[in-house]
Amino acid sequence: MSRIGKSVIQVPGGVSVDVSKGNVVTVKGGKGSLAEQIHPDLTVRMEGDQLFVERPTDQQRHREAHGLSRSLINNMVVGVSAGFTKQLELIGVGYRVSNTGNLLELILGYSHPIYFMLPSEVKVTTKMDKGEAPTIILESADKQLLGQVCAKIRTYRKPEPYKGKGIKFTGEIIRRKAGKTSGKK
């Protein structure tokens, strides 16, 4: 049996979970409301403050959907209660970032600034401290959307392996390559 799928989801206080027709799971909490349609063969049942995801058989398709559905529901519960946060750093001389509401302005060494409009579900703050790399802090209740936004921002200037310049996650380690060696053989 799936180790992830059979794990129990603890529902904290202030969070309500509702399963409607068509296996649409709706989770409401302090940080918002999220809904996800899970596999139609799976059942979701609530006992007290615990949530269980169960599959009818051990067929391959049910095993595949079991752990995935449990993880999606757990991410929704954590998202509406605590939320998710990601931090991106801009490494490079002259790289800057600023925001006006949900409009992000990135200056990444191109001949023009890049403007990126964030979805309304994602909150952004930027830090430009002297002596430290400019930082983008993104917060959201939806983990999937937050990951997609981070990936899109990263595509504007991926970290390169020679100098380490680019947009990277805070704490991410970039494997560096040795450059060309000078001299004749």
Split at pLDDT 50, 70, 90, the class of 153 is very high
Residue 74 sits in a domain of what CATH number?
3.90.930.12
Residue 86 confidence (pLDDT): 97
Residue 183 confidence (pLDDT): 63
Q: Distance between CA 118 and CA 103 in Å, rounded?
A: 6
Residue 69 is assigned to a structural domain of this protein: yes
Residues 162 and 94 in one domain: yes
Q: Which domain covers residue 149, as residue numbers?
A: 84-169
- State the pTM of this model: 0.88
Structurally, the chain folds into a number of domains equal to 2
Residue 2 confidence (pLDDT): 61
Residues 89 and 154 in one domain: yes
Residue 3 confidence (pLDDT): 83
Helix, strand, coil percentages, rounded to 5, for the chain: 20, 35, 45
Residues 131 and 104 in one domain: yes
Residue spans of beta strands (DSSP E) within 5-154: 9-10, 16-20, 24-29, 32-37, 43-47, 50-54, 84-91, 96-100, 103-107, 114-117, 123-127, 135-140
* pLDDT (mean) for 5-19: 91
Residues 160 and 118 in one domain: yes
Split at pLDDT 50, 70, 90, the class of 6 is confident
> What are 88-121's pLDDT values in tens digits?
999 999 999 999 999 999 999 999 999 999 999 9
- Rounded to the nearest integer, the mean pLDDT of the chain is 92
135-140 vs 166-169, strand pairing mode: unpaired
Residue 158 is assigned to a structural domain of this protein: yes
Split at pLDDT 50, 70, 90, the class of 68 is very high
Residue 102 is assigned to a structural domain of this protein: yes
Q: What percent of the chain has pLDDT over 90?
A: 82
Residues 101 and 121 in one domain: yes
Residue 115 is assigned to a structural domain of this protein: yes
Q: Distance between CA 89 and CA 165 in Å, rounded?
A: 10
Residues 67 and 130 in one domain: no
Q: Distance between CA 138 and CA 152 in Å, rounded?
A: 13
Residue with tokens 């063969």: 41
Residue 106 is assigned to a structural domain of this protein: yes
Residues 109 and 131 in one domain: yes
| Residue 22, pLDDT above cutoff 90 | no
Residues 158 and 99 in one domain: yes
Residues 59 and 109 in one domain: no
Q: Are 90 and 167 in contact (CB under 8 A)?
A: yes
Q: What percent of the chain has pLDDT over 70?
A: 97
| Residue 1, pLDDT above cutoff 80 | no
Residues 68 and 30 in one domain: yes
Residues 165 and 97 in one domain: yes
